[in-house]
Amino acid sequence: MISFNNNVFHLATEDTSYIIGVVDGQLLNLYFGKQINNVPDLEDMLPIKFCRSFSCNDIFTRGFSCSTDNLTMEYPTFGSADLRTPAFCAKYSDGTFVTRFSYEDYEIVNGKYKLCGLPSVYAEESDKVSSLKIILKDNVYGVVAELHYAVFEKYNAITRSVKIINSGEKPFDITKVLSLSIDFRRADFDIITLNGAWARERIPERTPMSFGTHQVESMRGITSHHENPFFALVDKKTDEFSGEAYGFNLIYSGNFIAGAQRDAYDVTRAFLGINPHGFS
């Protein structure tokens, strides 16, 4: 089920809630975890402390100013005050790399959205699936980002994809576009990846999520048997039988990048998509 009330999107499966908020035109990821039956007001879900030393303020709303560098962003871009790993980067005709997406509109429909010409998850007729499209736009260069979500309620799964449209008058080069980025206001995770080689593929490796970036990738033209386009963020006590776990998997067979970044304030950013190396 997908709902939108008072600038808050709620994507609900049978056991989980994924909540997105619109603040000063910016799209924030406010919550992802166990299902919330009564979604709090937007102000009650925002972090208590907005300002950090040496983080430039670029949001001015509700009588305060804050920095996207300290917020849990839904689809971060390069060139803003958010200096963590971005999901989107582009070079424009005037030589700049700055993109600032603002919220424009949304659409909710029944069924699974289509990805023409690309591998994707599909829905059976008996599946209870709804889809959300959120439209973001950079008003300087006319770049439009369509964020697509499909909620598979009985499987506790949400699929995501991104479509970039040039609605401006000049061409630009996309240097990075990821399918997913999500911020968690916590850092007490282990990260699990599936690594290996020929005849011993997908060997689980579990590592504490320390400061910095942990990632797997392929630049072999295929996902390959060396690295799998999957990772999971799990609680310290999570095992095969119980515990909290967030799994991420890219449905794609080419070059990819996948991983997570922990910042100085214990926010963990998960990211997943096409490898930006040599991509344009």
127 or 170, higher pLDDT: 170
What pLDDT does residue 236 have? 94
Q: Rounded to an integer, what distance in angstroms lies between the CA atom of residue 229 and that of residue 257?
A: 7
Q: Rounded to an integer, what distance in angstroms lies between the CA atom of residue 83 and that of residue 95?
A: 19
DSSP 46: S
Count Cβ neighbours within 10 Å for each residue of 6-32 and write b for 16 or more, e otherwise.
Answer: eebbbbbbeebbbbbbbbeebbbbbbb
Report the predicted TM-score, pTM, of the whole model to 2 decimal places: 0.91
Q: What percent of the chain has pLDDT over 90?
A: 62
Residue 250 CA to its chain's centroid (Å): 12
pLDDT grade, residue 44 (50/70/90)?
confident
Q: What's the whole-number mean pLDDT along residues 79-95?
A: 91
Find, among 85, 114, 89, 109, the residue nearest to 99 by Cα. Answer: 89
Six token digits for residue 250: 């890219």
Q: Rounded to an integer, what distance in angstroms lies between the CA atom of residue 183 and that of residue 71?
A: 8
What pLDDT does residue 166 have? 95
CB atoms within 10 A of CB 254: 16
72 contacts 267 by C-beta, under 8 angstroms: yes
Give the up-direction half-sphere exposure of residue 133: CA atoms within 13 A in the CB hemisphere.
Answer: 15
- Tell me the DSSP string of 172-215: -EEEEEEEEEEEES---EEEEEEEEETTEEEEEEEEE--SEEEE
Q: What's the whole-number mean pLDDT along residues 78-91?
A: 90
Strand partners of residue 174:
90
Alpha-carbon distances, residue 125 vs 48, 57, 133, 208, 237 (angstroms): 44, 47, 21, 41, 37
What pLDDT does residue 68 have? 78
- H/E stretch holding 45 reads helix 42-45
Q: What's the whole-number mean pLDDT along residues 34-45?
A: 83
Q: Rounded to an integer, what distance in angstroms lies between the CA atom of residue 192 and that of residue 194?
A: 7
Q: Is the pLDDT of residue 162 over 90?
A: yes
The residue behind tokens 């917020």 is 71
Find, among 165, 176, 134, 157, the residue nearest to 247 by Cα. Answer: 157
CATH of domain 2-182: 2.70.98.60
Q: Is the pLDDT of residue 13 over 90?
A: yes
The residue behind tokens 């998997």 is 249
Q: What's the whole-number mean pLDDT along residues 110-125?
A: 85
90 contacts 98 by C-beta, under 8 angstroms: no
Give the residue extent of every domain in the chain.
2-182, 186-274
